[in-house]
Amino acid sequence: MPSAAPASPCINVCSIGPNGWCRGCYRTLNEIAGWIRLDAAGQWAVIEAARRRRRADPAAEDASTPRTPYRSTRLTPMSNSAVSDRIKAHLAAAPAVLFMKGTPDFPQCGFSAQTVAALKACNAGFHAVNIFEDPELREALKAHSNWPTYPQLYVNGELLGGCDIALAMYKSGELKQLLSQAGAIAA
């Protein structure tokens, strides 16, 4: 058996540790590979299993304290107006926009996967942007939003927050209500 780790199924984003799951998202290889074939209930089951693994891992960061969202409805000045125009175009593409790692069918981090699952569970239509396809946009969006991590969920052009905020709002029912008011859920 080779001593090197296998190539990541998440295109070098996930890193499978000796315990058999990703060091970042806590999904197993089988869960990562089978993600696109799962319905929302199956994806939530995988997320719950990953959460149990994360809670049991003494090396995991404390994710129990949610971040406070920074709400901004206008762009901050950027050095590159072309990037600013791309961000504006994405935000105008749909009432709900998710800047994420990967795609909805193949999320490349656990937090992006959880946010997609919450949106799908709400039956929301949303525009997804894979930040790995545009490194310039990825960096500029951090300045635009004053939010350093991904995913970033926007509703009607306004930053809602990251995974932790989206999940808390999903669990309380507030996310579905907000998405419905924004027109992201078909009546």
Task: Look at residue 136 in the predicted model and tell me its pLDDT.
Answer: 87
pTM above threshold 0.85: no
At which residue do the structure tokens 């499978």 appear? Answer: 16
Task: Look at residue 77 in the predicted model and tell me its pLDDT.
Answer: 42
Whether residue 44 has pLDDT greater than 80:
no
Which is more confidently placed, 38 or 163?
Answer: 163
| Beta strands 152-155; 158-161: pairing state | antiparallel
Q: In sequence order, what are the beta bridge partners of 153?
A: 98, 161
Element (H, E) at 95: none
Structure tokens at 9: 């199924």
| Cα 142-148-151 angle, rounded to 5 deg | 90
Over residues 67-73, mean pLDDT: 34
Domain 81-182 has CATH 2.10.70.10: no
Kindly state the greatest CA–CA separation across the chain.
Answer: 55
pLDDT in tens, 81-130: 788 888 999 999 999 999 999 999 999 999 999 999 999 999 999 999 99
Q: How confident is the model at residue 61 (pLDDT cuts 50, 70, 90)?
A: low
Percent of the chain surpassing pLDDT 70: 74
pLDDT in tens, 137-165: 888 898 888 888 899 999 999 999 999 99
Q: How far is CA 98 from CA 2, 29, 111, 125, 138, in A?
A: 38, 25, 12, 11, 12
Task: Look at residue 146 in the predicted model and tell me its pLDDT.
Answer: 85
Whether residue 70 has pLDDT greater than 70:
no
Whether residue 11 has pLDDT greater than 70:
no
| Cα 9-67-140 angle, rounded to 5 deg | 65
- Listed by start position, the domains of the chain span 81-182
Asked whether 70 and 152 are in contact (CB, 8 A), the reply is no
